[in-house]
Structure 1
Amino acid sequence: SPKPGPYVKEMNDAATFYTNRVLKDYKHSDARHVDWVKSYLNIWSELQAYIKEHHTTGLTWSKTGPVASPMSMRSVLTSGSCLSPPPPPPPPGPPPIFDTETVKDEGTAARSALFAQLNQGEAITKGLRHVSDDQKTHKNPSLRAQCPSVRSPTKSHTPSPTSPKNSPQQSHAPVLELEGKKWRVEYQEDKNDLVINNTELKQVAYIFKCNKSTLQIKGKINSITIDNCKKFGLVFDNVVGIVEVINSSNIQIQVMGKVPTISINKTEGCHIYLSEESLDCEIVSAKSSEMNILIPQDGDYKEFPVPEQFKTAWDGSKLVTEPAEIVG
C-alpha cells in the first residue's frame, strides 16, 4: 500500500480536478463557493504537512506511554450514566382568545342588508337618476374631449417588453497566471503568442472567454478545460487526464504528444488534430456539431467527421444505437 504522504497528495490532485468545475460555475456569481474550494483544498495540504512531520510511514503509537487498566476503562464507561437528565420542557401557554361573536354579528347584518335590497324587485331602480342626452358622453362630443380615456378592464394593458438597449459589455483585464496548481487563462482577445512553460504533472489549465487567440502549453499537464471561448486555438504536448471543451465555438486543438480523452459538450465547430502517439484517444461528444478529427497520413492530415445524427432500434432485447447515414 502507498505511504500516507504520497497518497494524500494524489487525493489532493484528484480533488483539484473536480473543484475546478465548482469554480467554473460560481467563480463570478457566488464567492462562497470559491472560499469553500480554497478551504477544502487547504485541508489536504495541511494534512500532508502534518503527515510529513509526525507520521511519515504511518501511524506510530507511543511505546513509553501509560497502559490503560480495566478499572480506568470501566470508570470512563460508567461516568456517562451518572449524568442527570435534562429538565422537562415548560407547559404550553393558554389558547388564543378570538372574538368570534363580533365577527359573526357583523357578517349576519351585512347579509341581511343585501337580501333586503334584492327583495325590492323592480322597485330597486327607483333610486336611480335619469341621465339626459346632453350628459351622455357618446352623444355629446364636448364631454368626450373633457373626460380622460378609460382603459377597458377586459384587456390586458401590461406594457409590452421592449428590447433592452445594447448595454456596453463589461471589459475584464486579461489573465495569464498560475494560481496554486491551476493555470488561469481568461479574457484574452486577439492574442496569438500565448505560451505556458514550466508545467508540472499536478497542474491544470482553465481557459475562459478567450476569443481569436492561440495558446501553446509545453510539457506535461494534468487536464485542460476550454469554456466559453470563440475562434480559439490550443496546442499542447501531453495531458494525462482529459481535455474538455464546453460552451464554445470554432475551436481548433492540436495534440503534439499523447492525451487519453477529449470531451466536447455544447460546442459548435471543433477541429482536433491528433498526433501519431495519440491515435488511441477517445472522443466523447454531446450536444455538439461540426466536429472533425484530423488523422496524420503520408505527411498530411485526413479529415474524418464525428457523427451528429444517430438512429436507435429495438433488437428484441435491448436498444441498439448507431450513426445514421445521411442520404443525399
Structure 2
Amino acid sequence: MSVPGFQDVLQGPFATYLVVSQQIGGDVATHSALVERAFQAQLQYLILASQSKAPTQAEQIHLLQPTSQHISAIQDFREKNRTSPYFNHLSAISESIPALGWVTVSPAPSPYVKEMNDAGQFYTNRVLKDWKEKDKKHVDWVKAWVQTLSELQAYVKQYHTTGLVWAGKGAPMAGAGVPPPPPPGCPPPPPTLLGDIAGLDANNDRSALFAQINQGENITKNLKKVTADMQTHKNPTLRTGPAPFIPPQQTAVTASKFAPVTAPAPIDKQPVFTRDGKKWLIEYQKGNHNLLVENAEMNNVVYLFKCTDSTVVVKGKINSITLDSCKKTSLVFDSVVAAIEFINCQSVQMQVFGKVPTISVDKTDGCQMYLSPESMDVEVISSKSSEMNVLVPKPNGDYTEYPVPEQYKTTVTPSGLNTIVVESKG
C-alpha cells in the first residue's frame, strides 16, 4: 500500500498546488513544472522499492540521481530569478523541496519532512503578508503547498516509520539478472591467546610465578643499572628524541594521489550598477563607497547582491530595498513604501532619514539599524539571525541602542506552547 499512499498525496493537495500555480502564472507556473518532475521521480523510486530488495550504497546513489537533479534544478531556478516579483514563492519551494530526501533518512524520516516544511515557512509567511489582501489565489497556493508536505510527513510516518521500506531480501533488484553466488567463506580465525593459556599446566605455571615473586631482595639483581650518560637531565642530546621517519621516495602516481587538494580561488565577477526598468541592480561591488541611486521613483526597487565593504545612498522615496549576501556594507536611504530586507548578510548597517514600515532580517549575523523620528513605529521581523541592534534617536541627536532578542524560552502548557524572551546576560 506504500505506492498508492504516495499517489494519494499527488492527487490531493499537490494537484491543487499545480493548478493554482498555473493560475498565478509566470515564474510560479514554470517553477511548479520542475517540482512536478521531482515528485514524479520520487514516485518511480517508490515503485522500484516496492518491487526490489534494498540496493547497495553505490546503487542507491545512482537510483536517486533523477530526484537529486530535479531538486537542484528547482533551487537553481530560484537563484537565477532573484529579481522576480514571485521571489518569495520560489524561495518557499526551494527551501522546503529537500523534504524529498526523506528516502535516505533513518531511523526517523518523518520529523525530517516536518523540518523541511518549517524551513520554508519564513517565505510562505511573506507570501501571505504580501498577497492576502491582493489576490486570494496566493493564499490558496500557500495552503496547498504546506498541506502537501504535511500529508507527505503523515504518509512517511505511516508506511516508512523507521526508513524507506524495500520489498525484501527475496526480491532481486528490478532489471537485474540472477544474483551471483555468495563468495566463499572466510578462513577460520587464528588460535586465540586464551586458547594457548588454557593448554598450559596451571599448577606448574602458578608455582613458577610464585617462585619468582618470593626471591625477595634478589629479584632486583638482574635489573640493568642506569648510568650517568643514560640520564636525560645530564645528557641533553638524549632529549631530541628519535629521528623522524622518512618514507621511501614516492612514485609520481602515488605522490599525486596523496597530494593535498587546494580549493580553487574564487572568481571575481565584474561589478554591476544598472537600472533595468523598475529595478536597480547593484552587484559584486567591492570597496566602493560612492554608490548613489537618485532620480528613483516610488515603484522602483533596489537590489544589492554580494557587495563587500561598500556604501550605497538611495535618494527619494522608493518601494523596497533588498540586501542579499552582502558583507560590511552600509545603506543610507530616505524612505521606502514596503520594506527593507537583509538576507544572508554579515556586518551590515542601515540608516533611514524618513519612513520605513518594515525591516526584515533573515540568516544575518550583525545588523545595525539606525532609525529616524518618523520610523518609530517600524516592525522588525527577524529569523535565524544574531547581533541585531536597533538604534533609536534621542532629542539631542544621539542614539539609544536596543538589542533585538535572539534567545527564547518555550514551555508546554495545557493550551499549547508559551514562548518568552530570555534576556542574555554575559
TM-score when normalising by structure 2: 0.40
Measured in 2, the distance between the counterparts of 1:197 and 1:277 equals 21
Quick check: which one's helix share is greater?
Answer: 2
Measured in 2, the distance between the counterparts of 1:183 and 1:287 equals 27
Large movers: runs of 4+ above 2 Å: 28-34, 159-164, 325-328
Q: Check if 1:293 corresponds to 2:293.
A: no
Q: Check if 1:302 corresponds to 2:400.
A: yes
Deviations 1:122-156 (A, max 9, x none): xxxxxxxxxxxxxxxxxxxxxxxxxxxxxxxxxxx
Change (3 A) 1:258 1:172: same
Q: Check if 1:199 corresponds to 2:296.
A: yes
Measured in 2, the distance between the counterparts of 1:301 and 1:315 equals 39
Q: Post-superposition shift, 1:252?
A: 0.6
Segments of 5+ residues of structure 1 without an aligned counterpart are 1-14, 20-24, 39-106, 112-158
Measured in 2, the distance between the counterparts of 1:37 and 1:290 equals 30
Q: Post-superposition shift, 1:201?
A: 1.1
Q: Which letter does structure 2 place at the counterpart of 1:232?
A: T
- Larger RCO of the pair (alpha carbons < 8 Å, separation 6+): 2
TM-score when normalising by structure 1: 0.52
Change (3 A) 1:242 1:160: farther
Deviations 1:261-286 (A, max 9, x none): 10001111000000000010000001
Segments of 5+ residues of structure 2 without an aligned counterpart are 1-24, 30-71, 86-177, 182-255
Deviations 1:205-237 (A, max 9, x none): 110010000000010111111011100000011
Q: Post-superposition shift, 1:33?
A: 6.0
Which of 314, 320, 327 is 2:418 aligned to? 320
Number of the residue aligned with 2:346: 249
Q: Greater Rg, structure 1 or structure 2?
A: 1
Measured in 2, the distance between the counterparts of 1:160 and 1:324 equals 52
Secondary structure at the residue paired with 2:328? Answer: strand
Deviations 1:59-107 (A, max 9, x none): xxxxxxxxxxxxxxxxxxxxxxxxxxxxxxxxxxxxxxxxxxxxxxxx9
Secondary structure at the residue paired with 2:374? Answer: helix
Change (3 A) 1:311 1:37: closer
Q: Post-superposition shift, 1:30?
A: 5.1
Q: Post-superposition shift, 1:170?
A: 1.1
Q: Post-superposition shift, 1:301?
A: 0.4
Number of the residue aligned with 1:156: none
Q: Post-superposition shift, 1:256?
A: 0.9
Deviations 1:245-272 (A, max 9, x none): 0111000110111111100011110000
Measured in 1, the distance between the counterparts of 2:260 and 2:337 equals 47
Measured in 2, the distance between the counterparts of 1:323 and 1:31 equals 34
Q: Post-superposition shift, 1:327?
A: 4.5
> 5 Å matches for 1:148-163?
none
Measured in 2, the distance between the counterparts of 1:211 and 1:33 equals 21
CA RMSD of aligned residues (A): 3.7
